[in-house]
Amino acid sequence: MSKSPPAEQPTFEATFEKLSAIVDKLEDGDLPLADALSQYEQGIAAYRQCRETLEQAERKLELLTGVDAAGNPITQPFAESAGELQEQAGNRTRRKSRTKSESSTDDDGQIPY
């Protein structure tokens, strides 16, 4: 018994277009109830596929956390939960905006430029 190759999933863009078309049809309100229910079910399936694709993309993202001495970007994986994201945000150093008087001179009174 031979297995057939898995069906290729449509692209995010194609699935999103399908979802948009379904929403338009449902918003028109011209479909009979049975057709509207069928379109709704197809819309839910398309929505879930789009959401899954976006979640996979988020997991692949990396956050830029800075630049090393050689000018190369320093990255870390994107947090998958809100708690991890808040922890990462707390670990990042933030640049303070200096006031005009602070930015015009160094600690020793010299202009830094």
Q: Torsions phi, psi of 7, nearest 5? A: -65, 135
pTM comes to 0.52
pLDDT (0 to 100) of residue 39: 97
Each residue's pLDDT, cut to its tens digit, for the chain (113 residues) gives 556 555 788 899 999 999 999 999 999 999 999 999 999 999 999 999 999 999 988 877 767 777 788 888 887 777 665 555 556 555 555 444 444 444 445 555 555 55
pLDDT (0 to 100) of residue 66: 77
pLDDT (0 to 100) of residue 82: 52
